Amino acid sequence: MFKDGKDSCIDSNHLKSGSSGTVTYDKKDPGKYVSKFYFSNVPIGPTFTFEVLVPDSLPETSTTNPPTAPRENLELENCELQERIGEGEFAEVYTANFHNTVVAVKLFKNKFKRDIHRLVETEVNKLAQLRHPNVIQYMGTIVFQNRPGIVMEKMKMSLDDVLVENNEISIQTKKKIFIDIAQALCFIHSLPNSYHGDLKPANVLLNGEITNASTIVVKLCDFSQARIRFAVTSSISSATTIYTPRYAAPELSLGLSKTSAIDIFSFGILIWESLTGETPFLNEENVCKAICGGDRPSVKNFDKNVSNLLTAMWQGKPDQRPSISTVLQKMKEIF
């Protein structure tokens, strides 16, 4: 517990160039930091305030400025996480307030050494440089009680939420979702040696009204976080899986080289699930074995053009799958 700053001190001078935030150090152990706020390339505009939960209370703090902002200290106040909106095996997702704007914070459950914190910072800093209307905007990282967290744009729901709730989705809305996903992948695949790596409905975020296709905004999250997931999960268990088996291309299970073709396979499975409302490989005891053995969801009741496209997308050999630009063009013709 911190009381009037007696057991901690605030230092805003040890942040990387181009960042905005504070570092709280333990006076008894200067090498140990308690909470770190790191934001990269915050756009010019009103002062940003970020909220994250810290033990009881901390003394008043100040933040350094991003290089493009006016050179004045920024106040950091009202530091608390808000509602928990999601939970996975290794992380929880909270809402938080960032300059009166609701953001999402993905906070890992376990405490980690500083090298893991630095890796998360480095990877998220790279992602924060990217701009695309169909890719979630990353803002930076935090550390709370040695638990790294990722701060990102908050969306209303995920495609997984929609599918789980069995909401009726019109073909117009499905087309909008598929096209936007394809456009996001076109952008991701245009970057050097880049792919999403874990494409699934839970990583497709949505804003708007699901019953009105014209209002839907689609953005991919967890893009290119394989290094983060591997570092975080492998520090907990040696049995590390950094992909979701039922959407994973066979080369992932076989430990072969990864290319952008892994996203094409996953996208095909995602499209099938969205069209049918069914969970792929639900009755398979060993999904990886089934996929590597050539098992695929049934397309016998699909339109021929759709079935041909999906069959091409989930081919066993990566070089036999179409590129995302080809998939995008085909979808525009089919739907």
Annotated binding site for ATP: 106
**Which residues are CB-contacts of 165 (< 8 A; sequence separation ≥ 6)?**
none
Residue with tokens 């979701």: 244
Residue whose tokens read 């080289």? 257
285 contact partners, CB below 8 Å, separation of at least 6: none
Residue spans of beta strands (DSSP E) within 111-168:
138-144, 147-153, 157-158
**CA dist list (Å): 92 to 99, 101, 200:** 22, 20, 18
From first CA to last CA, the distance across the chain in angstroms is 58
Closest CA to 37 of 96, 110, 100, 85: 96
Number of Cβ within 10 Å of residue 75's Cβ equals 11
- H helix and E strand count, the chain: 9, 14
Q: Which of 215, 218, 217, 188 is nearest to 203 (CA)?
A: 218
In the numeric block, the tokens 């089919």 are attached to 334
Give the amino acid at 36.
K
